[in-house]
Structure 1
Amino acid sequence: MPEAAPRKRTKAPNGAASLRPYKGQYRVKVTVAMTGGRQQQVSRVVPTEAEARLVLAQLLTDHSRGLLRSPHTLTVEALLGELIAIRRDEWKPKTLANNEDLIRLHLAPHLGPLKVQKLKPQHIQQLYLLLARTYSLSLLRQVRALLRQALQLAVVNDLVPRNVAKDVELLGARVPRRVKQNRALSPEHLEAFLQAAAPFEEIAGPVFHIAGLLGLRRGEAAALRWEQVDLGRGLLHVRDNLVVVRGRPTPGTPKTEAGDRTVPLAPETVALLAAWKVRQQALGVMVGTKWIDSGHIFTTLKGTPFHPDRLSTLAREFGTRAGLEHVTFHGLRHTSASLHLARGVPAEVVKTWLGHENVSLTLNTYRTVYSHEHRLHVTGMSGLLQQGPDNLTLDGVLRVGA
């Protein structure tokens, strides 16, 4: 019996779709008919099967309406739009708004009309050179990171074979000369700053005292509520963060996963907060019907939480009143880290109190070594030759006290 001729592989019909597992995720494909009998497949890769079914339904709907673009017609601006749509629920509000602004102001005007498959490294390099004339290295890095994410999405979805932005360097970017500037205040300067802020804290709460002590971010301090402080057990829970999105305070979560933390309070701090709680209630009675019981610890005279930008402005003002330059609210966070480390608190503990992801950030970025620490450990050769850290410490203490 003669062998049957091999069946000729037929093209998938226009609109044919598939959903299959792909490297631990799920890939959806829809066939799109092109002019001249050619075909292209539009694919998407998503984490879960349920999401894949939703994406498949949307692709088929778009195809039936004639809205489904083939890879050859997808523009950079459309690709960036797809990235925003996919990451919208994943990014924090401030990150989302910042990335939308980067696309609107910098990427879409220069690269947006280009087809993704026609985008070349030289196009990207020209964009970087153009932006470098006006903008900082930080902004260029943000633009590069966003463009790389979008093009990596195109690679995963089989729209392009490689990420052409991956190896393009930021040539022409102005690298600022790094001037070592201690952001942390010394104990004497912190005391002077808190004295300048004392009249304000009498009616608004010890916000700068707590920020300087615990290293809270400004948004964390503004969002802090009484329900997140356990005065009986001496614990403060950082759960929320009031971020500024296009000028408006927006409720959110701490900056990182480690930022959601619980910090122990000293009896002195518990007493301070307890006294302020009583005083705040009395102020609310004095204000009367205009008082808004928002539940926040640090509030305006109306009882509402502070705009984070307002806290930054006040920090600068009180620094000026204290005769100090370059005082910032975030500098209080550096101050908290440096003073705790200077008094011997383990770096791992300080890292947890500040909500850092890793201890290297605490030590390399937030740590200021004060001049008195250098003097504390100075020694002569005889002390250096002695064995054991106890002898060395004793020698340093004796010299300081002499």
Structure 2
Amino acid sequence: MAYITKRGSSYSVRYTYQDEHGKSCDKWERFPTKEEAVKRQKQIEHELATGNFLIPSTVTVAEFLMDWLPKQCSKHKWAPKTYQSNLALIQNLIIPYIGEMQMQKLRPYHIEALYDPLSKTPCGQYVGGKRRDLSPKQQKRTLSGTTLHEVHQLLHNSFLLAVEWGILIKSPVPVEAPKKTTQERSIWEVEEMRAALDSMEDPILHLAVHLTLVGALREGEVAGLTPEDIDFDAANGMGTFTVNRSMQRVQKDTLAQVDKGCILRIFPDKLEGSKTSLILKGTKTEASCRTIFMTAALREELKQWLERLKQEEALDPERYRNSGMLLRLPNGLAVEPVLIRKKFLKWQDAHPEFPRIVFHGLRHSSATY
């Protein structure tokens, strides 16, 4: 039952409910008029009678999402990058704007109002939840519609769970999501691929690009290859290489949160006190595991590359640190995806005659032709 009591010029509705732990609690809600108090009294009595009463909660959006994140990560066995991506969305694009609001006070117009300032927010304005000072040039590049769509999807999924947990009666996230940004990715034509490859003198970059153009590999997949993935005798001597791993650099804090089942190897730190780790993990999906036929040119280059690795190790075996990877630095350490990307950008700066594309664009060029 709920009771109405007049206090001065206002009216209070008093009722008793059981919290999530089954403890009996008293609650007072104040209203300026008797009509509002009576309306609320009837609503409370109906909700209590039908079992639809929403237990009062002061939990904020920030508190809820930071509780939701590790639970979902554990439940769905997220990969490190998936956890990092969702954490970044929460810390940098949600908490700074609506993090302090109470979940039960959120309405659809609050979420709709979030998208407008986000669409004008420069990329990298917040990192780790902390606001950064950006240069005028950096401020010109704002968040894309695709990023806003990802924020919407995260809120949609998490707030549906808030309903299941009894924090909300209904999700305040609007049905319609911000539209994704559609941008056609630039690719090279066949002759451009051949000419570009011929102009690359860096042996690491040349092999990485060659592998990508033949097999439509991602950067992490190129860096994740090992000599054991190569079979020169397969396919009647044509040769094949197998893709079933990917290399990534992730935050150490992330590794403490995710399931280690997908992680095949954690490489030793190069620098003392590093906050990130280089890891080798299984490919993104089962469909990403594949065996690719070599071309005659790639087969020959791989044979020469493996011979080169033996020679480099023989030069100074005591200092050589054999990472076991196919792509290695002269000292034996693994070549990270970011180094491949940097080498490709440096080559592009030196060869403006070729259409400028991102390294991932090589994969799309390969898949197209």
How high is the TM-score relative to the length of structure 2? 0.67
Match of 1:200 among 199, 202, 219: 202
1:74 paired to 2:59: yes
Displacement of 1:243 in angstroms is 2.4
Match of 1:31 in 2: 21
Q: What aligned pairs does 1:367-386 form with structure 2 within 5 A after superposition?
A: none
**Counterpart Cα distance in 1 of 2:233 and 2:209:** 22
Residue number among 301, 311, 321 corresponding to 2:330 in the alignment: 301
* Structure having the larger proportion of residues in helix: 1
SS in 1 for 2:22: strand
The structural deviation recorded for 1:165 is 0.7
Matched, 1:289 2:318: yes
Which has the larger displacement, 317-326 or 294-303?
A: 317-326
1:88 counterpart = 2:70: no
User: What's the counterpart of residue 236 of structure 1?
Assistant: 241
Q: Does the aligned pair in 2 maintain the 1:102–1:143 contact within 8 Å?
A: yes
Indicate if the aligned counterparts of 1:217 and 1:330 stay in contact, CA closer than 8 A: yes
Q: Structure 1 CA distance, aligned partners of 2:348 and 2:194?
A: 11
Kindly report which structure 2 residues correspond to 1:232-381, keeping only aligned pairs within 5 A, or say none: 232-233=233-234, 234-245=239-250, 249-266=278-295, 268-322=297-351, 323-339=353-369
8 A contact 1:147–1:165 mirrored in 2: yes
State the Cα RMSD in Å. 2.8
Q: What residue in structure 1 maps to residue 89 of structure 2?
A: 102
Distance of 1:37 and 1:162 partners within structure 2: 22
8 Å CA contact 2:61, 2:95 repeated in 1 = yes
Q: CA deviation at 1:284?
A: 1.8
* Deviation of the 1:169 alpha carbon: 4.2
Q: Which amino acid aligns with 2:193?
A: L
Residue 120 of structure 1: aligned partner? 107
**Distance in 2 between residues matched to 1:278 and 1:312, nearest whole Å:** 25
CA contact (8 A) 1:225 1:295 kept: yes
On the 8 A contact 1:240/1:253 being kept in 2, the answer is yes
For the Cα contact (< 8 Å) 1:121–1:168, is it kept in 2? no
Letter in 2 for 1:94: K
- Structure with more strand by fraction: 2
Distance change >3 Å, CA 208–CA 105, structure 1 → 2: same
**What SS class does the counterpart of residue 289 from structure 1 fall into?**
coil
- Trace 1:132-143 onto structure 2 (pairs within 5 A): 132-134=119-121, 135-143=143-151
Contact 1:225–1:296 (8 Å) recurs in 2: yes
1:182-221 matches, cutoff 5 A: 183-197=186-200, 199-201=201-203, 206-221=207-222
Q: Identity over aligned residues, as a percent? A: 25
Give the structure, 1 or 2, with the largest relative contact order (CA under 8 Å, sep 6 or more). Answer: 2
Instruction: Note if contact 1:244-1:250 (Cα within 8 Å) is conserved in structure 2.
Output: yes
- Give how far 1:31 is off: 3.3
User: Quick one: which amino acid aligns to residue 191 of structure 2?
Assistant: E
Aligned residues: 275
User: Which moves more between the two structures, 226-235 or 75-84?
Assistant: 226-235
Give, in whole Å, the separation in 2 of the partners of 1:168 and 1:187.
41
Secondary structure at the aligned position of 2:113 is classed as helix
Task: Give the match's secondary structure for 1:35.
Answer: strand
2:264 equivalent in structure 1: none
1:78 to 1:140, Cα distance in 2 relative to 1, 3 A: same
* Cα distance in 2, alignment partners of residues 338 and 37 from structure 1: 65
Query: Structure 1's 335 and 164: CA in aligned 2 closer, same or farther, altered over 3 A?
Result: same
Q: TM-score, normalised by structure 1?
A: 0.61
Task: Tell me, in whole angstroms, the C-alpha distance in 1 between the residues paired with 2:295 and 2:96.
Answer: 54
Q: Post-superposition shift, 1:138? A: 2.2
